[in-house]
Chain A
């Protein structure tokens, strides 16, 4: 029997889930924003166009959609689209900074079936968090968490992007999740969007990657979105498919309807089409040349002589792309150090034409 992973790499008939960024508008300006959000794009999909996307997701039997942005709750039709999605058989998880979750919203959410909430923070205290997400953002997030807990929502998710500064706070994150009856989710920082500028200062050290891996092995209840499969070279694989899902199992729809292989490659090289094209999302998923390419067997390239390749799969395509490394070779954070060596001679860093950042404002609180 073919290994399940090989069958996944050949691509599914429909995504299992996908990320849908509803808007580039955002009230925050997180330093590492993978979608370089801030300012709404005039070409944002209309409500009708968004409903048409949901109709197709329903036909394709996509199980749930991860609604993000920017800050998705800023869209005036946000609640309508959540409701439309759920009533058309597509579950919703939405990722938010919490700024629109007051006590009443939390009570409404607690009554909704098939709607999950994910609150983003990047530090276990205000100092660490706000250095990345802006002054006051930690308080906003924790207030939202308290409202959800108070309203009896149940296990919402607290999602953290792991950095050099917050890896020392793993136990504190776990305690925060316990305090609010939430489920902790830790994900990998990619050098994508605004993340490209801060990646050198923010990404984990080698020692920290090992520390994180060991901690996750002890905590199988902590979610990771399978974002640390590059660490599988350290030992037993972490829970999950342990492979790159881009264009095979998942993808991303952006606020103007562009379809990308995944949220971490919002760059024209990984754009598969637009949902307003004839055939819509379904024909992009099934027939785009980009996704067909990603579903071909990938070459191990420079990794073919390394015994760890079966475990780590050569790591993350986005991490390689945005650090100027070749895609058929080691990840920049390769645990054996092969990627680090290559970074010295990396090519020019790609920049995306899709930057919706607001002009930089005054310093975002204490920076380390």
Chain B
């Protein structure tokens, strides 16, 4: 199973952006999250516990 994306990295990146108002900063953070979305995860069909 993949480890969740470390969101704090994205927040650090966006801190250095010069943004006037906080709504814009929020949107930039949201954009970063959107780009990094992991929308598909491949798991082995044998990858669930409780099957012998």
Q: Contact residues of A with B, CB < 8 Å?
A: 1, 3-5, 16-19, 34, 63-64, 66, 68, 95, 159, 185, 187, 223-227, 229, 237, 239-246, 249-252, 261-264, 316
Contact = CB atoms under 8 A, between A and B. Distances in A.
Contact of B49 (A3, A18, A66, A244): A244
Nearest to B52: A263
Given A1-B37, A5-B1, A239 B48 contact: no
A166 B51 CA distance: 21
B4 interface: yes
A243 B50 CA distance: 10
Instruction: Report whether over half of chain B's contact residues are helix, strand or loop; otherwise say mixed.
Output: loop
Given A64-B45, A240-B1, A240-B44, A249 B52 contact: no
Interface in B1-52: 1-4, 33, 37-38, 41, 43-52
Contacts of B45: 16-17, 63-64
Contact of A4 (B1, B37, B48, B50): B1
B49 A229 contact: yes
A19 B1 contact: no
Interface of B: 1-4, 33, 37-38, 41, 43-52
A38 to B, nearest CB: 17
A64 B44 CA distance: 13
A251 B48 CA distance: 11
Nearest to A34: B52
A13 to B, nearest CB: 15
A4 B1 CA distance: 9
Contacts, number: 86
Instruction: Report whether over half of chain A's contact residues are helix, strand or loop; otherwise say mixed.
Output: loop
Contact of B47 (A187, A241, A251): A241
Contacts of B47: 225-226, 239-241
Nearest to A313: B49
A227 B50 CA distance: 7
A220 to B, nearest CB: 10
B50 A241 contact: no
A17 B4 CA distance: 25
A250 B1 contact: no
A245 B49 contact: yes
26 contacts: A1-B38, A3-B4, A4-B2, A4-B41, A19-B50, A63-B45, A187-B52, A223-B46, A225-B48, A226-B47, A229-B49, A237-B1, A237-B3, A239-B47, A240-B1, A240-B43, A240-B46, A240-B47, A241-B43, A243-B49, A244-B49, A246-B50, A249-B50, A250-B49, A251-B50, A316-B49
